[in-house]
Structure 1
Amino acid sequence: MSAARGRSSAGRMRLVVVQVLAFSLFATLFVRLYYLQVVGGASYQAQAADQSVRDIVVQPQRGLIVDSQGRPLVANRTSWVISVDRTLLGKLGEHQRTELVRRVSDVVGETPADVEARLVTCGDADSVRDVCWNGSPYQPVPVATDVPKKVALRVLEQPEDYPGVLAEQQSVRSYPRPFGINLAHVLGYLSPITEDEYDAAAERDDRSLNGASVVGRAGVEKQYDAWLRGLPGYRRVAVDSMGRVLGDDSVVESTPGDTLVTSIDAKVQSVVEKQLAERIKVQRATLDPVTGRNFAADSGAAVVLDAKTGRVIAMASQPTYDPDVWTGGISEDQLARLYSEQAGTPLLSRATQGQFAPGSTWKPFMTAGALTNGYPMDTQLDCSSGFQVGNRVFHNHESAAEGTIGFVRALEVSCNTFFFRIGYDFWQRFGSDPADVDARDPLVEEAKEFGFGSRTGIDLPGEAPGRIADRHWKQAYYESQKDYYCGLSSKPQTAGTSDFVYRFAHEFCLEGNLYRAGDAVNFSIGQGDTIVTPLQLARAYAALANGGTLFAPTVAKALVSPQGDVLRRITPKKVAHVDVPQEYLDFIDGALQGVTREGTMAWKMGGFPLDDVTVRSKTGSAEVYGKQSTGWVASYTKDYVVVMMISQAGTGSGSTGDGVRKIWEALYGVDGTDVRPARAATPGVVPPPSLPQFLDDGSIMPPVVKAGE
């Protein structure tokens, strides 16, 4: 009996435990339901409603870029874009997704594989370079741009066949090309924002960028990107379970970007581009008497500066590219060509990034160095046909023996041996110990005084610094290369490698750091390892023209709001003033007038009205080992500087002289032997000091030139 009662008591206890557990579970469920429906009901209801709403970024119109007369250089146009909402694709079954992609590919004229590739996020295992989507994962992905309007209407009118597919008009860059100009290297280009850039913008709470933004990658598009891009808007749209748009929920309007006013004159730019291209074409059809084959004329550049302010009036580079190639995305083949050496690396701006030996255009600055370091203006030296240094004879290039002459005649006929003697004299007096890296060199000091060997500070990204090949540079270069050359010289000579290579490696290993007399005389005429950009040379000649002021060249003049208000003026920035007495600058100025009238440029300026338009000039032919000569002409008046260079094109005046003359004729309205200011490319002949007029109706008119300006 006792055992039976114990079992009965234990059973009741278990039943009580089960009842308590069941009650606890029901109580927990009741509390959870109460929390979901009463306490958190409003929040969950909002989240549920939010599932039927999509946020779409409304990209702003990017700001215009205009020239100094208000002519549009870069504008915007509308483009029909087909995009796919990937959040909906994830909800579809495999068959439905495949069918939708097929329909989209059919309507936009692409293959299903291409559409699928564009929907993959860049960085994923299946992504394909230059095809994948690198924007926000929550933004509809563009799969086709610039589609015909009838294609967009088909998608809009048949939403049941294209669920989650959007067809809308978007703003893209256009290039009006006033007077047919290219200007690609100055304007730059755009490409979609990268994932890293998007994350960085999110961290600093930069609301002007979003996952579908495009950003400037070169030129003024990059330099002034923050001003040009504007602020995006947002459109909230209601959608059904299949992603079909039911209507707008709310709209926040986008803010257009600001307008960039540049100092470029489109009419001058057109002349400069045409003349550079024409001279390259002519030289390619001209026989080089030295090599016995036509000139390669593989690249070139031309720069026009306002001599008084350093503003860029025109800048051209060859080879170039079509800036429209970036609009709507660029293919791998197109991108490869822009970087291709075989195609001449069209993406490289020769004006600001190309670095070349300056040749005899260097001599005016060497004259300044000689005059400020003890040589009197009436110095007389022998212009022999050659000058011997050690066991090597250095020759004249464009001029034969002239006898004993002074600085003026030496510049007029571009006498190398005259300047060899100056360079050798300074080397003997201050640095005859070739191992002394700290020896003084007055000519090197003068080159640096005129800004060579450092960037000009132009408001364009990617500028090259050039190079002053002085003792310090030579020592640094030796230390960076000696292991390679010493290693090469210690190995047995292999088949196919010339004796010259091994001799050079052996000599470099032993004494590649020594700055010898030959280096000094080469430096005095702009040869050897010293290199400059065409912009650096133009800036230095502007200092000769304006009395010694070095400016940081500028392309931008002002930033103007969409309402026409001037937000910021970009004023010319004075970087330095060269330490050369004005009497020496005047002396050099007179000598360079002689180059145009009687010297190496005279045969290209016959009949030009030099009494009315006084052009100073200096020609140059730089010899490059293994290549044909690089031709230069650097010239200026008190208003402008014009520099043109063509690589592997022969003598300076022979390759570029005709083109430089045509540019001067356009700048001043020269007609034969007459000067007609009304025909000048720039109204008023000189660059306008004021900005274009921004009218209330949105139109832009040329600047108003006031009396006395």
Structure 2
Amino acid sequence: MAMTDDAPRFRLRIIGVISISLFVALVARLWYLQVLNTAESEQLASANIEREVRDPAPRGRILDVNGNILVDNKVVNVVKVDKPVWDAAFPKAKRAERIATITKLAIEISRSGRLTKVAELAKAIDNASSIQEVTLAVDVDRDLVLYLGERPEEFPGVTIDQALVRDYPFGDLAAHVLGYVGRINSSEFASVKDSPKTYAPDDEIGKTGIEKIFEDELRGTPGTSVFQVTSSERVIREITERRVDPKPGHDVWLTIDINLQQLTEQELVDALVQARTQNKRNDTDPDITAPAGAAVVLDPQTGAVRAMASYPTYSPKDFVGGISQSKYDTLTSPGSYSPLTNRATEGQYAPGSTFKPFTAYGAIDKGFMGTGRLPTVDGRAFDDGVFNLAKFDRCTSGKCEFTNSRDGTGKIVTSPDVDLRKSLTVSSDTYYYRIGAEIGLSKNDRAIQTSAETFGLGRVTGVQLPSEASGLIPDKDLKKQRNKANPTAFPFGDWTTGDNINLAVGQGDVLVTPLQLANAYATLANGGHLFAPNIASQVKALDGSVVREFAPRELETINLNPAAREPIIEGLLGVTSWRDPVTDERGTGYKAFNDVRFDLNKWPIASKTGTAEVDKKADTALFIAFGPVPDPAKPNTANAVPTYAMAVVLEQSGFGGANAAPVVADTLNKVFNGRVPKAFSDRVLAACAARTSAQIAAAAARGTTGGTGSTGTTGAKSALGATGAKATPPATSTTSTTTTPPVTTTRVPLLREGESCP
């Protein structure tokens, strides 16, 4: 009976011991967490309730030499999705509703002009973090903003925000120079992952042009904002003391003049259009399609690029917020002739007769003229238009007879009393065939190549633009290497006399870019200073302070042989000015400059035409000029200093003197006479067009005709079109029968202080 009474007490004692043990363990654990592990616990707690958000920084602007803003930032409407709200509205169980909403959203965004695929939209939303806002479309129109704003229940979490994107005040002008930005790809991200300016996988980066080369200067430094959030990612507050403000990028100032740029682009397009109207000389000749071309204007004294044009071109605006696949496919299709390619720096062409001054320089400088079978520089002879290689060297196979070009009747062009100067003025081919053959048969058989390389041909110029081509100056070593590496493509490995003859007239395998050609002639013009062309002049901070400046970059000073340079310059002066009063024989560029009444007595121009043969295509038309140049025949020009060098290349366009020379003649004529038209921004043109439309509407309401003059339709179109800019024609108004002006809901854009219409 006693044992029975003690059993409950024993069990209570056991329970008490267990309870006390558990309590002690709990106290010990709490003491450990609160005392020994306080720092670690605080760190874990902080990590759970803080979220860091990147604040993008404004990108720097791009300006021309006069401070005109060529690339800016503008505020646009952006469609975004608040991911937490979206996820709450569409959990995994509602997958069908989610896809339906994404599809509807993609359709509405596409209707607004921003073509969007359902799969791309879904991927962007799914790959975003749970706290992130996802950008779905950039620069959407007002109609879409209103549509989405009126239907929040249909599109949960979809909001309209504002963001900064690239803006191009002058539209497509200088597109190849400026370049564009786009979403960073994996290889680009890997190259900048350690940049202090920190990139995210969905950031934008410069893809081409100045935007790419000066990415580090233009890109701002992103800031950060830190938020406290709940476990369900609801924001409690911003921790403002830990905020880091974004720092804007720097501005890049260019050497180009947007007014001259506009003129150069317009002249280039006009020349190509005009070239297409030509008739072929023979039915068997290739069609003259004139699909593309390039032009470059340099300052020979500094190497500064004043204008650089390439056609066909594109609109950088198409890349804002991401280019649609259809537009990109159009730009990259073969039939579009590569509008994304900057032909001024990436296009490689046979230079044709524009190469002859470098052949002449090599022949004179290396002592070939007046020796062997070559005349002296001043030696004159009748050019019968035919060169027979067999008279120089054994010729048993291949082409042995070479001729000058033919005139409009099909006859080979001949010329009396041809010396070195006149050989350049009238562009005698046979004169240079002889030089090529003589040098090719000598021990110093690289004289022509050495001369070309001295003037910077066959290597990149070093201009501050990406993807520059190096051109090509072929020689026997290169020919042998090519044959050894790929005998199928290059079946012949021996350098022949015929190869040297082709080289002498800028044919065969020799290639140059328009920029290289302009720079080589600029070196001849300035007396031997070979510059790396600058297209950027300085980098400035937001406060206007100069961060970086680009002085002229002289690569080397060439000790040009006066005995070679002077007769070459004199021969080039004759291209535009010489005419035989008896026979009416003329320099190959005479007509182009006299057609525009160019004052050669005041501004003598040294120049050279080129017509390069292309296999199974119409000839490439080339022209290069520099001036003003001291002309020995004009004492008033003794102190002239060349300030402009301009090269033009027109693909499949025929003769250089007929098609490329007029571009240079008209451009330089306007430059030297101070008649370069002002380039107006798209905004100003739109404001002026709107103002004119309003004036027309008001005149119609008053019952006036408004047929001509400043308020008339004809007068308005003429004024806007006179600048060569892409003006928007004024809208045609409907005549009202009342005297009350019609009510309009569209506000007329206002011109800013100091602005005026064309």
The TM-score, its normalising length taken from structure 2, stands at: 0.75
Shift in alpha-carbon separation, 1:201–1:359, aligned structure 2, 3 A: closer
Q: 1:74 aligns with which of 67, 71, 74?
A: 71
Cα 1:337/1:181, change in 2 over 3 Å: closer
Counterpart pick for 1:283 among 270, 275, 295: 275
State the AA in 2 paired with 1:525.
V
Answer yes or no: is the 8 Å Cα contact 1:378–1:407 preserved in 2: yes
| 2:121 partner SS | helix
How far apart, CA to CA, are the structure 2 residues paired with 1:527 and 1:136? 60
Does the Cα contact within 8 Å between 1:449 and 1:578 map onto a contact in 2? yes
CA distance 1:113–1:299, shift in 2 (3 Å): closer
Distance in 1 (CA, whole Å) between partners of 2:447 and 2:512 is 19
- The answer for the alignment partner of 1:185 in structure 2 is 176
The answer to whether the 8 A contact 1:163-1:243 is kept is no
Alignment partner of 2:577 out of 597, 605, 615? 597
Structure 2 match to 1:387: 387
Residue in 2 that maps onto 1:267: 259
- Given that residues 312 and 338 in structure 2 are in contact (C-alpha distance below 8 angstroms), is that contact kept between their aligned partners in structure 1? yes
Which structure is higher in RCO with an 8 Å CA cutoff and minimum separation 6?
Answer: 1
Superposed counterparts of 1:80-91, under 5 Å: 80-86=77-83
Q: 2:648 maps to which residue?
A: 644
**Equivalent-residue separation in structure 2 for 1:19 and 1:155 (angstroms):** 67
CA distance in 2, matches of 1:424, 1:39: 94
Residue 168 of structure 2 corresponds to which residue in structure 1? Answer: 175
CA apart distance, 1:355: 0.3
The one of 440, 445, 448 equivalent to 1:443 is 448
Which residues of 2 match residues 547-558 of structure 1 at below 5 A? 547-558=527-538
The one-letter code sitting in structure 2 at the alignment partner of 1:168 is: D
Larger mean CA deviation between 164-173 and 550-559 belongs to 164-173
- The verdict on how the C-alpha distance between 1:469 and 1:232 changes in structure 2, with shifts beyond 3 A counting, is same
Q: Deviations over 1:440-497 (max 9, x none)?
A: 4211111111111110000101000000111111111111211x36xxxxxxxxxxxx
Structure 1 pair 80/42, CA: closer, same or farther in 2 (3 Å)?
A: farther
1:588 corresponds to:
568
Q: Does 1:254 align with 2:259?
A: no
1:396 to 404, 407, 414: 404
| Residue identity opposite 1:533 in structure 2 | T
CA RMSD of aligned residues (A): 3.5
- SS at 1:337 equivalent: helix
- Between stretches 375-384 and 324-333, larger displacement belongs to 375-384
CA distance in 2, matches of 1:100, 1:49: 33
1:328 aligns with 2:318: no
Aligned to 1:461: 466
Q: Output one character per residue of 1:537-589: Cα deviation in whole Å (capped at 9) or x when no partner.
A: 00001011111111001110000110111111111100122342134322211
Cα offset, 1:413, TM superposition:
0.8
Contact 1:118 1:141 in 2 (8 A): no
CA positional deviation for 1:380: 3.6
CA deviation vs aligned residue, 1:140-199 (integer Å, no higher than 9, x gap): 33112123457558878998886655542111001101xx65211111111112344445
Q: Which range moves more in the overlay, 383-392 or 566-575?
A: 383-392
> Which residue of 2 is the match for residue 364 of structure 1?
357
Cα distance change on mapping 1:329 and 1:360 into 2, 3 Å:
same
The whole-number CA distance in structure 2 between the counterparts of 1:551 and 1:656 is 25
Distance 1:89 1:426 in 2: 77
Residue equivalent to 1:411: 424
Alignment-mate amino acid for residue 550 of structure 1: L
1:382·1:418 contact (CA, 8 Å) conserved in 2? no
1:121-155 deviation per Cα after TM superposition (whole angstroms, max 9, x unaligned): 7xxxxxxxxx997x999753311212345755887
8 Å contact kept, 1:667–1:682: no
In the alignment, the residues of structure 2 paired with residue 626 and residue 25 of structure 1 have an alpha-carbon distance, to the nearest angstrom, of 96
Deviates more, 1:349-358 or 1:572-581: 572-581
Correspondence 1:120 to 2:126: no
In the alignment, is the contact (CA less than 8 A) between 2:197 and 2:221 conserved in 1?
Answer: yes
Deviation at 1:371, TM superposition (A): 1.1
Taking structure 1 as reference, are residues 239 and 144 closer, same or farther at Cα in structure 2, changes over 3 Å only? farther
Aligned-partner Cα distance in 1 for 2:266–2:237: 53
Please tell me whether the aligned partners of residues 80 and 134 of structure 2 are also in contact (alpha carbons under 8 angstroms). yes
Structure 2 stretches lacking a partner, 5+ long: 1-9, 370-375, 390-394, 407-411, 579-586, 628-641, 680-751
Aligned-partner Cα distance in 1 for 2:531–2:645? 13
C-alpha change, 1:385 and 1:242, in structure 2 (3 Å) is: same
* Residue equivalent to 1:668: 672
Which residue does the alignment assign to 1:622? Answer: 612
Are the equivalent residues in 2 in contact too, given 1:164–1:244 (CA < 8 A)? Answer: no
Cα distance, 1:622 vs. partner? 0.3
Taking a change above 3 Å as real, the CA distance of residues 342 and 305 of structure 1, as seen in their structure-2 partners, is: same
The CA distance in 1 between the partners of 2:24 and 2:499, in whole Å, is: 95
**Cα gap change, 1:150 to 1:401, in 2 (>3 Å):** closer
Contact residue 70 and residue 701 of structure 1 kept, 8 A:
no
Q: Does 1:140 align with 2:133?
A: yes
Q: 1:554 to 1:137 in 2, by over 3 A?
A: farther
Instruction: Please identify, of 572-581 and 472-481, the stretch whose mean Cα deviation from structure 2 is larger.
Output: 572-581
Return the offset for 1:84.
3.0
Distance 1:30 1:194 in 2: 55
Q: Which runs of 5+ in 1 are unaligned?
A: 1-11, 122-130, 431-438, 486-507, 670-676, 684-698, 703-709
Distance 2:574 2:540 in 1: 45
Structure-1 residue corresponding to 2:719: none
TM-superposed CA distance for 1:47, in Å, is 4.9
The verdict on how the C-alpha distance between 1:200 and 1:85 changes in structure 2, with shifts beyond 3 A counting, is: farther
Q: Secondary structure at the match of 1:252?
A: coil
Where does residue 475 of structure 1 map in the other structure? Answer: 480
Matched, 1:351 2:344: yes
Task: Show the 5 A alignment for 1:219-230.
Answer: 219-230=209-220
- Of stretches 187-196 and 98-107 in structure 1, the one that deviates more from structure 2 is 98-107
Q: CA deviation at 1:285?
A: 2.4
Q: Match of 2:601? A: 611
Alpha-carbon shift at residue 653 of structure 1 (Å)? 1.3
1:47–1:355 distance in 2 versus 1, CA, 3 Å? same
The question of whether the paired residues in 2 share the 8 Å contact of 1:117 and 1:132 is answered with: no
1:298-337 to structure 2, matched below 5 A, reads: 298-337=291-330
Q: What secondary structure sits across from 1:648 in the alignment?
A: coil
Q: Secondary structure at the match of 2:500?
A: helix
2:353–2:427 Cα contact (<8 Å) kept? yes
How far did 1:388 drift? 2.0
User: Offset at 1:231?
Assistant: 1.0
Note the C-alpha offset of 1:655.
Answer: 1.6
What's the CA shift string for 1:505-525, capped at 9, x where partnerless?
xxx64xx11111110100000
Decide whether aligned partners of structure 1 residues 566 and 595 sit closer, same or farther in structure 2, where only a CA change above 3 A counts. Answer: same
**How far apart, CA to CA, are the structure 1 residues paired with 2:455 and 2:179?**
28
2:52 is equivalent to residue 55 of structure 1: yes
Pair 1:94 & 2:86 matched: no
Separation (CA, whole Å) in 2 of partners of 1:665 and 1:24: 103
User: How far does the alpha carbon of each residue in 1:236-264 deviate from its partner, in whole angstroms, 9 at most, with x for none?
Assistant: 35566765666644343211111111011
Question: Is the Cα–Cα contact under 8 Å of residues 228 and 238 in structure 2 kept in the other structure?
Answer: yes
| Other structure's SS at 1:172 match | strand
Distance 1:631-1:230 versus aligned 2 partners, 3 A rule: same
Supply the AA of the counterpart residue of 1:371. I
Distance in 1, Cα, partners of 2:235 & 2:176: 42
Code of the aligned partner of 2:327: Q
Counterpart code for 2:591: W
Kept in 2: contact 1:288–1:650 (CA 8 A):
no
